[in-house]
A and B are shown apart, each in its own frame.
Chain A
Amino acid sequence: MAMENEQDEIVRETKEDTTKDRYLTFEIDNEEYGVDISNVIEIITMSAITWVPETPDFLKGVINLRGSIVPVIDARLRFKKPEKEYDSLTCIIVVEYENYTVGVIVDTVNEVMFIPEDKISLPPNAKLKYQNKFIKSIGKVGKEVQLLLDVDKFLFLD
């Protein structure tokens, strides 16, 4: 028993080490966002979406991810941005958060970026724009700025 726990601990530690301070960056409407990589399960290309009635419009429907049914959200619609036709660059980032697995449709996925904690600052207090609601913090890498997504609010707000 104790042994197993120890091993678990080790596994968890190494896992944390490889995912700590790492963010997957993606683009929506020419702006770059980041999501904590520990929330990301995988990135898949666009697949057939089945529309589900009586759902908010940003919830595009469900997809078949190797036998499991996964709901997908269009990030553009979630950010109240104009809808764009899906193309070859369009990706679905499958995120897992509190036992919910949800796909997020983004314009394109860029890279995994290392952003140390001291380079991350909170967003400005004044919530002028609607999309601020979904932003947890802002990371700075060189001259570029990444808007880091608050997965909880992104999925569950309203």
Chain B
Amino acid sequence: MADFSRESMLDMFIYEMNQLVEQLEQLIIQGEQGYSMDDINEIFRIMHTIKGSAAMMLYDNVSKTAHSAEDLFFFLREENPQDVDYSTLTDLVLECVDFIKNELAKIEASENSDGNPTDIIARVKAFLAQLKGEAPADAPPAKSEKKTAQVSTKTDSVNQIEAKGTHYNAKIFFEEGCEMESVRAFTLLQNLKEAITDVVTIPADVVADGSEEIIKKDGFQISFFSEKTYDEISELIDQTVYLKEFELSSGNLKNYKVVLFFEEGCEMENVRAYTVIHNLQGYCTNIKHEPEDIIDEAATEIIRKNGFKFTFSTDKSYDEVSKDLCNTVFLKAIDIEEVAAEKEAEKQEENEIKEDLKTASEPVNVQGNNVGSDTAGQAQPIKNQSVQKTQKPSQPAASSAAAQKKAAPTQHMISVNIGKLDQLLNLMGELVIAEAMTTQNPDLEGLDLENFNKSARQLRKIINDVQDTVMSMRMVSLSTTFFKMNRIVRDMCKNLGKDVQLEVVGEETEVDKNIIEHLSDPLMHIIRNSVDHGIEMPDERKAIGKPEKGTVLLEARNAGGEVIIIVKDDGQGLDTQKIFNKAKENGLLKKPENEYTEREIHQFIFHPGLSTNDQVTNYSGRGVGMDVVMNNIETVGGTISVESEKGEGTTNILKIPLTLAIVEGMLIKMGGAKYTIPISSIQETFKAKQDQVFKDPDGNEMLTLRGDVYNIVRLYDFFGAKSEVTNIEEGVLIMLENEGQHVCLFVDELIGEQQVVVKTMPGYINRVKGISGCTLLGNGDISLIIDVGGFFDK
């Protein structure tokens, strides 16, 4: 059972952790120049959450690593030390992050998370000790534990404490199965430490043996003084990880125990009892009564027989309470007793557990009522005064802490399995086809169907809207991918001794989730190349009059159906001659040397095995990389090109389709078959005259149009198919554009524009040059989708 529930939580855990780690990494890198208090708090909080989640999932190594980092930031937060070596600190924390990432990857791959964090933890501790100006031997956690022990041994009676602000009682329950309750309780105390004084806890020593059991069973009880308001304290406690629920009451409270008898024959004792409780709610907390359910008829009997017993806490004096209660109508006898806080708490234990079970099973989120606020009209007063949090452990703890701070039941984001989105998209595709099959059904041909056409148009409109929505659900902004690059640039600068700043523009641009997955690696390679090969060393830059700090610009923007991503550096640019020589060495030249333009030569960097860097560095120079980039980009149907000016820098331009799934296509006919050409590649279509066309000695057909000369590719020749239309004047020419190059494709005829759902070719068929996939037409026929890039490969 335990294993089963863990299994189902694992996905959520990994997802949540990955997000936290990403967030963390970003914060750390931003903060390298000096952390703001907000950053420190945020990092502390994230580390804390990671620690908690990992501990819950029993990944001790991750939990411990996060714990050590948390200690570090705890110190920073509390002491706000000056002269911190932020660079070392960042290195250390990033190492922790890497360790956690690594372990996460293992967990994700269903391997054992077996990394040993001892070394890194030791270093973090040493650093912390150094910050504190201590000998490294003194381990920080031991120290802070001592502190708490001191705090919690102050078990003075509540009544003796002179008021310092308001008095509060809190009772905290952790999620079942969250483990390490004592540590959580300890952490909670630490979190509250700065806000509260004169703390009394039950159990008194949270870290002592056996305290865990008590906390599990009875909850963790704290009584303390604070100058903060009820809401502030409530919020503080609410941030606790794995909090199941907590009760918080304020005021210098006295606890009363009352037994009340109504006059015989007054009838409706339960309603009267309810009225009493209702009145009390105005100024009392922790109201417990017996029988519990006074609305029930059976309660009447019990009250008649045993009297109505109830306990409550309030800051009012005995006299006031007594006076109030004696005003009850039909009162026969009343016995009011003031009880000491702790004794009372013990007595109530049993009741409360019962109640907690009851309330926990009902997923109600009761707003954290300020004590003394008007609660009239509550039908079931029993649930009123305790702030509850029925949070499932699988919910992302980090976000929920913030989002549910006000216990608002609305959630604006949900996470959905990507598999379901894929399925939805597939169904969407079939819906589009089915719609076409229906409205363009051959049976309808020649019929005059005014009403049918009206409805069909309406249907099409709705389907289009649904399609847009489905597509937009899959869109993810590039920001996470882009910000990941910060880390790479930073690490490289450190290692290479360069000074480079990454400028990010348009990171909010959205791209289909499937595509984003393929973007991270290529971008990383390109940026590595830019920093490693492109940007010069600072003194070199100074010497040639460039600013010492190099800049890599990472820009994304929408352009029609595509997203253009530009990686631009202001480094030394590509060495055309060097690339050319390398290409020659590797036998990549396909035409006479002097025919190569600079631009063409630059594109050689995308060939496998071509690295112009003589030295192999950690980052690049092995000649793998740019071809991987090319492959990755091609997988998602994108293109990449490079422009460079010597001494000025290099610009990589990636063109990525917004989505893989649905393409605006031109349906054409060739031979007996229909093919689809993506509209985005089509520049124009036209009929040619015989006198425009000529052949070179190799038999390559060419055509002049408006003074320019274009190659003609006959589609049937290209595919080795047969077609009846071979006369250039009978067929149609389609001018295709790809990476600035043009070619004219000769086909039999144009059929029309159509939105098509791209399906991949079955795996059994090897990749066909010139074909990128296929689609189903309205009549169920298959149309192959033409890969325009295929016509430009030599």
Contacts and interface: CB of A to CB of B under 8 A. Distances in A.
Given A53-B719, A54-B719, A69 B762 contact: yes
A101 B765 CA distance: 11
A71 B784 contact: no
B721 interface: yes
B781 A52 contact: no
A101 B7 CA distance: 32
B770 interface: yes
A1 B6 CA distance: 12
A130 interface: no
Contacts of B782: 50, 62-64, 69
A11 to B, nearest CB: 21
Contact of A1 (B4, B761, B766, B780): B4
29 contacts: A1-B3, A1-B4, A1-B7, A48-B780, A50-B783, A50-B784, A52-B765, A52-B771, A53-B719, A53-B721, A53-B768, A54-B719, A54-B720, A54-B768, A54-B769, A54-B770, A62-B765, A64-B776, A64-B781, A69-B759, A69-B762, A69-B774, A69-B782, A70-B762, A71-B762, A71-B765, A100-B764, A102-B762, A155-B764
B762 A62 contact: yes
Interface in B485-532: none
B430 interface: yes
A1 to B, nearest CB: 5
Interface string B747-775: 00000000000010111111011110010
Of B3, B7, B769, B784, chain A has the most CB atoms within 10 Å of the CB of B784
B449 to A, nearest CB: 27
Contact of A67 (B430, B762, B784): B430
Contacts of B761: 52, 62, 69
Contacts of B765: 52, 55, 59, 62, 71
A51 B673 contact: yes
Contacts of B781: 48, 50, 64
A59 B718 CA distance: 19
Contacts of A51: 673, 721
B109 to A, nearest CB: 21
Contacts of B770: 53-54
Contacts of A67: 430, 433, 776
A70 B760 CA distance: 11
Contacts, number: 65
B541 to A, nearest CB: 50
* 3 interchain residue pairs of minimum CB distance: A53-B719, A50-B782, A71-B764
Contacts of A55: 765-766, 768
Nearest to A59: B765
Interface in B434-449: none
Interface string A52-79: 1111000100111001011100000000
Nearest to A53: B719
A62 B762 CA distance: 9
A59 to B, nearest CB: 7
B783 to A, nearest CB: 8
Contacts of B766: 55
A58 B51 CA distance: 60
A87 B379 CA distance: 79
A69 to B, nearest CB: 5
A105 to B, nearest CB: 15
Given A51-B721, A62-B782, 8 more contacts: A1-B4, A50-B781, A52-B784, A62-B761, A99-B763, A100-B763, A100-B764, A102-B762
Interface string B152-175: 000000000000000000000000
A55 B765 CA distance: 8
A69 B782 CA distance: 8
B676 to A, nearest CB: 12
Nearest to A49: B782
Nearest to A63: B782
A10 B774 CA distance: 39
Given A62-B762, A69-B759, A100-B762, A52 B780 contact: no
Contacts of B769: 54
B561 to A, nearest CB: 23
B768 to A, nearest CB: 5
A64 B720 CA distance: 23
B431 to A, nearest CB: 11
A50 B776 contact: no
B277 to A, nearest CB: 47
A64 B673 CA distance: 14
B640 to A, nearest CB: 25
A102 B768 contact: no
Interface in B418-436: 430, 433
Nearest to A70: B762
B779 to A, nearest CB: 9
Nearest to B7: A1
Nearest to A99: B763
A62 B433 CA distance: 18
Nearest to A61: B782
A62 B784 CA distance: 10
A1 B2 CA distance: 12
Interface string B724-762: 000000000000000000000000000000000001011
Contact of A62 (B3, B719, B774): B774
Given A59-B765, A67-B776, A53 B4 contact: no
A53 B675 CA distance: 12
Contact of A53 (B720, B774, B776): B720
Nearest to B719: A53
A102 B766 CA distance: 14
Of B3, B763, B769, chain A has the most CB atoms within 10 Å of the CB of B763
